[in-house]
C-alpha cells in the first residue's frame, strides 16, 4: 500500500514509525496510508527552513516572483491530476475541485506582484537633511496548519505569499487528504524554489504542538474548527509567535419578502450543498422574513432539490459527493436527528441516500429543515454537511438580531431588491464577510478573507493585503548625513518640526 511521506529540504522523507489510513470517501475503503511526523521529523523540517532562510531572505523580490510565475503555470498544467487527487481523498466532484484550485491559483497570481507589494514608503526631508523610509522585512520560518475541506486552496492562501515575502515555510496539511497538498508542494520545487524554503510535514497533534512550541517558528496561520483555532491562537501567542487562526462558521442568508425567489433558490442550492456543505462559507441557515416568504422558499427549494445528484467525484454530472469520513457522516446525521427530535420539520430528508455501486461511501443527501429555532442544537453548532435549515422571523431587524447573537461571524448575505435595506444590512451586521444577492461572499485574492467574533482569532485576515502585513515586519529607517557647515549642537529636547 502506498504511503504519503513528508517534503523536507527538497526530498521526500518517509517517517514510518506511525501510519494512519487515508480513505476514499466514495467507496469507504482505505486507499493509502500517511506517515505521521514525529517531533524529531518536524524539527528536521524547521532546521532545513532555518538554514535556507538567510539566502532566500536576500533573494530579490523579482526573482522570488519569477518562481511564482512558473509555479502558476505548473498548477494549471496539472489541474486535472490535482482535481483527481482531491476527489479520491476528499470526495469533491471534479468541477468543484477545479474551482477550488482556481481560487488558489488566483492567490499565486497575487503573490507574483511581490515587487510592488513589498515596496516601502519614503519621505525626504522630514527634518533638516533628514530622510525617513519604511520597508517590509520577512519574519523567518513560519508555519501553516490547514484543514481537510480545501487541501489545495487553503494552503495556497498561505505559503505563496509567505514565501514571496522572503520567509521559509512549514506546512502541516490535513492527514485525511494529504496527497494533493504534497504534490502541489513538489510542483513549487519544480518551479525552481531552493531546497528548504518550502517543507511539508504530515501529522497530528504531535506535529502541531511542535510547531507551536519551537522558538524558531515566528508565525502560525491556521484554518479549522473554532475550538482548535482558539487552542492554536492561545498556545502560539503564549510562545511569543504571531498568529492568525480562522475558526468555524454559521452563515445565514436573509431572504426578504421582495427577493427574487427563483434566483435566491438557485443561489442557495449551490451555497448550501456545494462541496457537501463542507465549507466554512457554506450557507447553512436561511432566515425567511415573514411566513409568505418562508412558504415560497420552502416550496421552491423542495421542488428544486429533487434534481440534486449526490455521488462519486469522477462523474461530472453529480452536484456534490460524500463527506470526509464515516464518523463525520454519522455526526451530520446526528444533527438532523436532533433537529427532528427538538420539533423541527424535515422537509427533504438526506439521511439515507442511495448511490448505486457506492453503497459503503460516506454519503449524506441534501437535507432541508423548516421551523428551526435558535435554541436547537443543530442551529447553535456548525453542521458542516449538506443541510439547509430555515428559521422564520417577522422582520429584517429580527433576522439581523438573530445573526448578531450567534457566536460565529464569518459570512452572511441578504436576498432583496431593496437598496436601502441592503445598505443598512451591510453597514450594521456584525459579520466579517457580507454578500448582497451573493451567497458566498468569498473575497477575491487581492482583498482579504476573515470573519468576526469566534470565527477569527488574531488581528489580520488571510491572504490579500493583510497577508503582506502578517508575513512581514515593518522597519522604519531615519537617516541624516550632516555637512560640516550645518553641524548642530547638543539638544536634550524631544526632536520636533515646530
Q: Report d(CA 149, CA 324) in Å as an integer.
A: 8
> Does pLDDT of 483 surpass 90?
no
Is residue 208 situated within a structural domain? yes
Is residue 448 situated within a structural domain? no
Same-domain pairing of 385 and 368: yes
Is residue 258 situated within a structural domain? yes
Residue with cell 513589498: 118
> Does pLDDT of 487 surpass 80?
no
CATH of the domain at 30: 3.40.605.10
Same-domain pairing of 303 and 412: yes
Same-domain pairing of 231 and 316: no
How confident is the model over 389-418, as pLDDT tens digits? 999 999 999 999 999 999 999 999 999 999
Same-domain pairing of 124 and 138: yes
Same-domain pairing of 159 and 301: no
Q: Identify the pLDDT of residue 376.
A: 98
Is residue 490 situated within a structural domain? no
Residue 386 corresponds to which cell in the numbers above?
449538506
What Rg do the C-alpha atoms of the chain give, in angstroms? 25
Is residue 76 situated within a structural domain? yes
Same-domain pairing of 160 and 227: yes
Same-domain pairing of 276 and 404: yes
Three-state DSSP class for 375?
Answer: coil
| Average pLDDT score over residue span 211-231 | 97
Q: Report d(CA 331, CA 254) in Å as an integer.
A: 26
Instruction: Supply the DSSP string of 34-46, one letter for each residue.
Output: EEPPPHHHHHHHH
Helix (H) or strand (E) holding 203: none
Is residue 86 situated within a structural domain? yes
Number of neighbours of residue 284 by Cβ within 10 angstroms: 23
Is the CB of residue 392 less than 8 Å from the CB of residue 294? yes
Is the CB of residue 25 less than 8 Å from the CB of residue 90? yes
Q: Structurally, how many domains does the chain consist of?
A: 2
Same-domain pairing of 55 and 111: yes
Q: Report d(CA 114, CA 89) in Å as an integer.
A: 33
Is the CB of residue 427 less than 8 Å from the CB of residue 400? no
Same-domain pairing of 419 and 468: no
Q: Which of 165, 243, 280, 413 is catalytic?
A: 280
How confident is the model over 71-128, as pLDDT tens digits? 999 999 999 999 999 999 999 999 999 999 999 999 999 999 999 999 989 999 988 8
Q: Report d(CA 119, CA 110) in Å as an integer.
A: 15
Same-domain pairing of 93 and 220: yes
Q: Identify the pLDDT of residue 379.
A: 97
112 catalytic residue (yes or no): no
Same-domain pairing of 199 and 73: yes
Q: Identify the pLDDT of residue 2.
A: 92
Q: Report d(CA 335, CA 89) in Å as an integer.
A: 24
> Does pLDDT of 496 surpass 80?
no
Is residue 301 situated within a structural domain? yes
Which domain range does residue 162 map to? Answer: 3-247+455-477
Cα 438–chain centre separation: 19
Q: Identify the pLDDT of residue 134.
A: 94
> Does pLDDT of 248 surpass 80?
yes
Q: Identify the pLDDT of residue 486.
A: 67
Sequence-separated (6 or more) residues with CB below 8 Å from residue 463: 107, 110, 157, 158, 161, 445, 448, 449
Question: What percentage of the chain has pLDDT greater than the value 70?
Answer: 99
Q: Identify the pLDDT of residue 129.
A: 85
Number of neighbours of residue 304 by Cβ within 10 angstroms: 17
Same-domain pairing of 171 and 288: no
Cα 318–chain centre separation: 24
DSSP secondary structure code for residue 462 in this structure = B
Q: Which of 307, 249, 256, 243 is nearest to 425 (CA)?
A: 256
Question: What percentage of the chain has pLDDT greater than the value 90?
Answer: 94
Is residue 498 situated within a structural domain? no
Q: Identify the pLDDT of residue 179.
A: 98
> Does pLDDT of 490 surpass 90?
no
CATH of the domain at 303: 3.40.309.10
Amino acid at each position: 500500500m502506498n504511503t504519503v511521506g513528508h517534503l523536507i529540504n527538497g526530498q521526500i522523507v518517509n517517517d514510518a514509525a506511525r501510519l494512519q489510513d487515508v480513505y476514499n470517501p466514495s467507496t469507504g475503503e482505505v486507499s493509502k496510508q500517511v506517515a505521521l511526523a514525529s517531533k524529531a521529523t518536524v524539527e528536521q523540517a524547521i532546521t532545513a527552513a532555518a538554514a535556507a532562510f538567510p539566502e532566500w531572505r536576500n533573494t530579490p523580490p523579482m526573482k522570488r516572483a519569477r518562481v511564482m510565475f512558473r509555479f502558476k503555470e505548473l498548477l494549471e498544467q496539472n489541474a486535472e491530476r490535482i482535481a483527481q487527487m482531491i476527489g479520491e481523498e476528499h470526495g469533491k466532484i471534479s468541477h468543484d475541485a477545479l474551482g477550488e484550485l482556481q481560487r488558489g491559483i488566483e492567490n499565486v497570481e497575487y503573490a507574483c506582484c511581490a515587487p510592488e507589494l513589498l515596496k516601502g514608503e519614503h519621505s525626504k526631508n522630514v527634518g533638516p537633511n533628514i530622510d525617513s523610509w519604511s520597508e517590509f522585512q520577512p519574519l523567518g520560518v513560519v508555519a501553516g496548519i490547514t484543514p481537510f475541506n480545501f487541501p489545495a486552496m487553503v494552503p495556497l492562501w498561505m505559503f505563496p505569499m509567505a514565501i514571496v515575502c522572503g520567509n521559509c515555510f512549514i506546512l502541516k496539511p490535513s492527514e485525511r487528504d494529504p496527497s494533493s497538498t504534497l504534490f502541489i508542494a513538489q510542483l513549487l520545487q519544480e518551479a525552481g524554489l531552493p531546497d528548504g524554503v518550502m517543507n511539508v510535514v504530515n501529522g497530528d497533534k504531535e506535529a502541531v504542538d511542535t510547531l507551536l512550541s519551537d522558538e524558531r517558528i515566528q508565525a502560525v496561520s491556521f484554518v479549522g474548527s473554532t475550538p482548535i483555532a482558539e487552542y492554536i491562537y492561545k498556545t502560539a501567542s503564549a510562545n511569543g509567535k504571531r498568529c492568525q487562526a480562522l475558526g468555524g462558521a454559521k452563515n445565514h442568508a436573509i431572504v426578504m419578502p421582495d427577493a427574487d425567489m427563483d434566483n435566491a433558490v438557485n443561489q442557495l442550492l449551490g451555497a448550501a450543498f456545494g462541496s457537501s456543505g463542507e465549507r466554512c462559507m457554506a450557507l447553512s441557515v436561511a432566515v425567511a422574513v415573514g411566513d409568505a416568504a418562508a412558504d415560497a422558499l420552502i416550496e421552491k427549494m423542495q421542488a428544486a432539490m429533487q434534481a440534486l445528484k449526490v455521488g462519486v467525484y469522477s462523474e461530472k454530472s453529480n452536484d456534490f459527493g460524500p463527506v470526509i469520513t464515516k464518523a463525520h457522516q454519522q455526526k451530520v446525521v446526528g444533527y438532523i436527528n436532533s433537529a427532528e427530535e427538538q420539533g423541527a420539520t424535515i422537509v427533504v430528508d438526506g439521511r439515507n441516500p442511495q448511490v448505486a455501486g457506492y453503497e459503503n461511501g460516506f454519503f449524506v443527501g441534501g437535507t432541508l429543515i423548516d421551523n428551526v429555532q435558535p435554541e436547537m442544537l443543530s442551529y447553535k453548532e456548525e453542521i458542516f454537511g449538506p443541510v439547509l435549515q430555515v428559521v422564520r422571523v417577522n422582520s429584517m431587524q429580527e433576522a439581523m438580531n438573530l445573526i448578531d447573537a450567534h457566536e460565529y461571524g464569518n459570512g452572511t448575505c441578504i436576498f432583496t431588491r431593496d437598496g436601502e435595506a441592503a445598505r443598512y444590512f451591510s453597514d450594521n451586521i456584525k459579520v466579517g464577510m457580507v454578500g448582497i444577492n451573493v451567497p458566498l461572499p468569498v473575497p477575491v485574492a487581492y482583498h482579504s478573507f476573515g470573519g468576526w467574533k469566534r470565527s477569527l482569532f488574531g488581528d489580520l485576515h488571510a491572504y490579500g493585503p493583510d497577508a503582506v502585513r502578517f508575513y512581514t515586519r515593518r522597519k522604519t529607517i531615519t537617516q541624516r548625513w550632516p555637512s560640516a557647515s550645518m553641524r548642530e549642537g547638543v539638544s536634550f529636547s524631544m526632536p520636533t518640526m515646530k
